[in-house]
Amino acid sequence: MNRSRLAPIYRGGGARYLIDTCQPQIEAVRQGKISLHALTKGHYPGLAMEPSVLPGLNSIGFWDAKCAQDWGLEEHRNEGIEITFLETGAMAFTVDQRRFDLHAGSLTVTRPWQLHKLGAPHIGPGRLHWLILDVGVRRPNQEWQWPRWIMLQRRDREELTRLLRHNENPVWTAPVRVARVFRDLAQCILQWNQPHSASRMAIEINQLLLELLGFLSAQPMEDNPALVSRRRAVELFLNDLARNPASAGDRWTLKGMASHCGMGITAFSQYCRELVNSGPVDFLNQCRLGHAARQLREQPHRTVTEIAFANGFNSSQYFATAFRRRFHATPHDFRQQTGPVRPQAGGRGDRPAG
């Protein structure tokens, strides 16, 4: 399978909603604010690994922050499932707009479609371990494909996959055996240039997954198959349009939105109607107008035309017409008003933006 050709579930034009660039982390290392030891493929920071070595392992490493930092990671998604372990310290962690306060011993699991960040807004002190493993999915309804060097028996792989797919709880308290494996993985990273290091790394990662399977199997979790449905993929996409101006501002077509969620136009439109009581294009327009309304109030230095184009409108005249229909005021008059902006809703009656 060619994993490099898998696109993230949402294209969002703004960097904060794309795959993690790790730029704040890279800059912190450069300035000596943290010490970092990592192995990487692609854009992640660390010592480069050959693509043929442990295929699917995109990044593995740990950092030490001896004191509270003046930087944090932006919201992002990863090219794979990410497992982290906070060995010492404390820091804030946000997943899909839910905040968690991590402490020493916290274990986190995020899926490729889950938007998350560390810091609120800054990173706290601590030693953080992580692993990003590509299982060939970007949407919750896709079938997981574990790398061939994962040695769990088929039944165990299927059970671990089910536990991770049917439950999206992101934070746990790590058992002692999981913590120990992460420490052993740190030693593998430090000794990467020694003989047989890749084999040792493969064994430790398999051990980690086995320990994770045993731990999750013992937890009282609700099994929710709806989390891996096609409807769930559409729900996540619509939520992203509503929350992320960069995603809503992309040059979407109806066919493009449906294809991005992995289905045809008819099924996509039906799920959209069920979820927001609106057609896809109408909902997209309402999201764009809502984002534009907030930007008019919060970004007075930008012109109306700039805001219109940034939110996916090809014509400032059409934007003004659609805006007045929605908010009963011109963009200029609305900017002068006070009061909260109504949240996006799946309204009806607007033509496609453009």
Q: What per-residue confidence (pLDDT) applies to 339?
A: 65
3-state secondary structure 242-308: HHCHHHHCCCCCHHHHHHHCCCCHHHHHHHHHHHHCCCHHHHHHHHHHHHHHHHHHHCCCCCHHHHH
Q: What per-residue confidence (pLDDT) applies to 311?
A: 96
CATH 1.10.10.60 domain extents, the chain: 229-336
In sequence order, what are the residues at sequence separation of 6 or more whose Cβ sits closer than 8 angstroms to the Cβ of residue 104? Answer: 86, 87, 88, 89, 90, 126
The percentage of the chain sitting over the pLDDT mark of 90, rounded to a whole number, equals 69
Please state the rounded mean pLDDT for residues 256-277: 92
Show the tokens assigned to 220: 């009282």
pLDDT digits (tens, 9 = 90+) for 121-143: 999 999 999 999 999 998 888 89
Q: What per-residue confidence (pLDDT) applies to 7?
A: 41
Q: What per-residue confidence (pLDDT) applies to 97?
A: 86
Please state the rounded mean pLDDT for residues 214-238: 86
Angle at which helix 154-165 crosses helix 197-217, to 10 degrees, equals 60
Q: What per-residue confidence (pLDDT) applies to 353?
A: 38
CB 307 within 8 Å of CB 296? yes
The answer to pTM > 0.85 is no
Given a cut of 60, is residue 180 above it in pLDDT? yes
CATH number of the structural domain 3-224: 2.60.120.10
The average confidence (pLDDT) of the chain is 88
| pLDDT greater at residue 342 or residue 11 | 342
When pLDDT is cut at 50, 70 and 90, the band that residue 12 belongs to is very low
Per the CATH hierarchy, to which homologous superfamily does domain 229-336 belong? Homeodomain-like (1.10.10.60)
pLDDT digits (tens, 9 = 90+) for 191-208: 999 999 999 999 999 999
Given a cut of 70, is residue 20 above it in pLDDT? no
In sequence order, what are the residues at sequence separation of 6 or more whose Cβ sits closer than 8 angstroms to the Cβ of residue 119? Answer: 69, 71, 72, 73, 91, 92
CATH 2.60.120.10 domain extents, the chain: 3-224
Show the tokens assigned to 236: 């996540």
